[in-house]
């Protein structure tokens, strides 16, 4: 259907968008003056600027973002690429980032691809071409092309859920400390043989760090970790259910199972429930995250509370400081806290 090109107000047709020329006509100035009023207001007198802005407001003039971006070189948008959005804690982190930026007048544009496209430089290019002022990326393990594009465009950026990178600022927490707190708790309850349901460590630095932190703490406490007692799986409730069934089928003599996150732990608890294994009398289960559902599982879950919302907030503050031209605040690792609930208890026997 051809769109009407007439600007006459025909009932039932959408109103034509006011143009820069319309604003100029109403304000009695040139189109160039309107453009400067929007992009370089310091070049105009206060009276002219006021007249142009009043006309623009009256006509409901929406500045063409592309044109304004060219003129101002500032779009007040921040881009983020956070893959694997469903079935994870990332929505909570991103919403906190969004709220922190929104409070300073910035809009967050999010690219939330499937996991395998999370490191696709084309997604970053799409954001940079839209003119975002800054960028947030998930994790430190970005391909060099990502950092090169950020450098070439001279955009401030932050790496979310990352401990350290030579490439730029990170916001994260001390993974080794999180693992150490959980294993110390289990060791204190008399557990000597531990199983692990790990996230898949293939191409996932976050899962790798978590598994390393746990195995190091298990070794430090002199506890046992059979190779057969470590099951790697994708994240999710169904995956945790299946992984616990697989772990039990291997008949390793573990009395406590540590899950890489609360999604896996919820599925694992369900598998134990269905198999008639009493938690924690026969088996303790503990995990990481403290998701919103974790206090309401059967039984309520012992878990290391990770600073998921705080990562989003801190990353937002860091980007805003960079955009203001301030030195970004230091980014010490955010604290983690063990939350003890009913899913862990003394080792049986």
Residue among 118, 156, 267, 345 that touches a copy of itself (CB under 8 A): 267
State the pairing for strand pair 256-259/194-199: parallel
Cα separation, 178 vs 48, whole angstroms: 59
| Nearest partner of 101 among 80, 115, 116, judged by Cα | 80
Q: Which is nearer to a copy of itself, 61 or 211 (CB)?
A: 61
Q: What is the DSSP letter of 173?
A: B
User: What strands lie across the sheet with 302-305, from one edge to the other?
Assistant: 230-233, 194-199, 256-259, 284-289, 302-305, 337-339
By the 8 A CB rule, do 268 and 243 touch? yes
Q: Which is nearer to a copy of itself, 87 or 192 (CB)?
A: 87
Residue among 143, 253, 293, 346 that touches a copy of itself (CB under 8 A): 293
Contacts of residue 324, defined as CB under 8 A and 6 or more positions apart, other chains included, come to none
Q: How far is the CB of 227 from a copy of itself (least distance, A)?
A: 27
Q: Where are the alpha helices (DSSP H) in 40-161?
A: 46-58, 65-72, 90-102, 121-129, 144-153
According to CB under 8 A, which residues from 101 to 140 bind a copy of itself? 102, 107-114, 117, 123, 125-131
Q: Which is nearer to a copy of itself, 35 or 181 (CB)?
A: 35
According to CB under 8 A, which residues from 297 to 316 bind a copy of itself? 297-298, 300
Among the residue ranges 22-30, 72-80, 174-182, 206-214, the one whose residues contact a copy of itself (CB under 8 A): 72-80
Q: Which is nearer to a copy of itself, 17 or 337 (CB)?
A: 17
Cis preceding linkage at 237, omega within 30: no
Q: Which is nearer to a copy of itself, 26 or 180 (CB)?
A: 26
How distant is the alpha carbon of residue 146 from its chain centre?
17
Q: Does 152 bind a copy of itself (CB under 8 A)?
A: yes
Residue among 25, 85, 216, 223 that touches a copy of itself (CB under 8 A): 85
Q: Which is nearer to a copy of itself, 47 or 122 (CB)?
A: 122
Among the residue ranges 46-54, 176-184, 203-211, 293-301, the one whose residues contact a copy of itself (CB under 8 A): 293-301
Q: Which is nearer to a copy of itself, 228 or 293 (CB)?
A: 293
Contacts of residue 201, defined as CB under 8 A and 6 or more positions apart, other chains included, come to 207, 208, 211, 232
According to CB under 8 A, which residues from 33 to 62 bind a copy of itself? 60, 62
Helix (H, G, I), strand (E, B) or coil at 187: helix
Q: Which is nearer to a copy of itself, 151 or 275 (CB)?
A: 151
Q: Looking at the DSSP assignment, which residues form a beta bridge with residue 111?
A: 81
By the 8 A CB rule, do 93 and 309 touch? yes
Helix (H, G, I), strand (E, B) or coil at 182: helix
Residue among 67, 219, 275, 281 that touches a copy of itself (CB under 8 A): 67
Q: Does 15 bind a copy of itself (CB under 8 A)?
A: yes
Q: Which is nearer to a copy of itself, 22 or 163 (CB)?
A: 22
Residue among 54, 238, 278, 281 that touches a copy of itself (CB under 8 A): 238
Contacts of residue 144, defined as CB under 8 A and 6 or more positions apart, other chains included, come to none
The binding site for a copy of itself (CB under 8 A) comprises 3, 14-17, 60, 62-70, 75-77, 85-87, 91-92, 94-95, 98-99, 102, 107-114, 117, 123, 125-131, 148-149, 151-154, 236-238, 240-241, 263, 266-267, 269-270, 273, 292-293, 295-298, 300
């Amino acid at each position: 259907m051809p769109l009407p090109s007439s600007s006459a107000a025909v009932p039932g047709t959408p109103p034509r968008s006011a143009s820069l020329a319309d604003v100029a006509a109403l304000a009695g100035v040139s189109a160039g003056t309107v453009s400067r009023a929007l992009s370089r207001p310091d070049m105009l007198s206060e009276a002219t600027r006021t007249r142009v802005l009043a006309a623009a407001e009256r006509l409901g003039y929406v500045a063409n973002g592309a044109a304004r971006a060219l003129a101002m070189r500032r779009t007040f948008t921040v881009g983020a690429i956070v893959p694997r959005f469903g079935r994870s804690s990332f929505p909570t982190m991103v919403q906190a980032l969004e709220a922190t930026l929104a409070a300073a007048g910035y809009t967050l544009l999010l690219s939330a691809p499937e996991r395998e496209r999370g490191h696709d430089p084309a997604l970053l290019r799409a954001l940079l071409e839209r003119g975002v002022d800054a960028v947030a990326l998930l994790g430190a393990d970005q391909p060099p092309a990502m950092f090169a594009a950020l450098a070439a465009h001279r955009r401030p950026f932050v790496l979310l859920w990352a401990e350290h990178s030579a490439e730029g600022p990170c916001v994260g927490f001390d993974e080794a400390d999180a693992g150490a707190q959980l294993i110390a708790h289990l060791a204190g309850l008399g557990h000597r043989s531990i199983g692990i349901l790990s996230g898949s460590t293939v191409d996932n630095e976050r899962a790798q760090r978590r598994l390393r932190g746990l195995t190091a703490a298990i070794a430090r406490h002199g506890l046992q970790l059979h190779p057969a007692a470590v099951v790697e799986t994708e994240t999710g409730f169904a995956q945790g259910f299946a992984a616990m069934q697989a772990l039990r089928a291997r008949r390793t003599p573990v009395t406590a199972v540590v899950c890489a996150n609360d999604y896996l732990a919820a599925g694992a608890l369900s598998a134990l429930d269905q198999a008639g294994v009493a938690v924690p009398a026969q088996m303790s289960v503990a995990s990481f995250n403290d998701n919103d559902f974790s206090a309401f599982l059967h039984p309520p879950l012992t878990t290391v509370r990770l600073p998921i919302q705080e990562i989003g907030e801190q990353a937002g503050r860091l980007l805003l400081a960079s955009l203001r031209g301030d030195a970004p605040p230091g980014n010490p690792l955010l604290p983690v806290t063990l939350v003890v609930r009913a899913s862990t208890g003394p080792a049986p026997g």
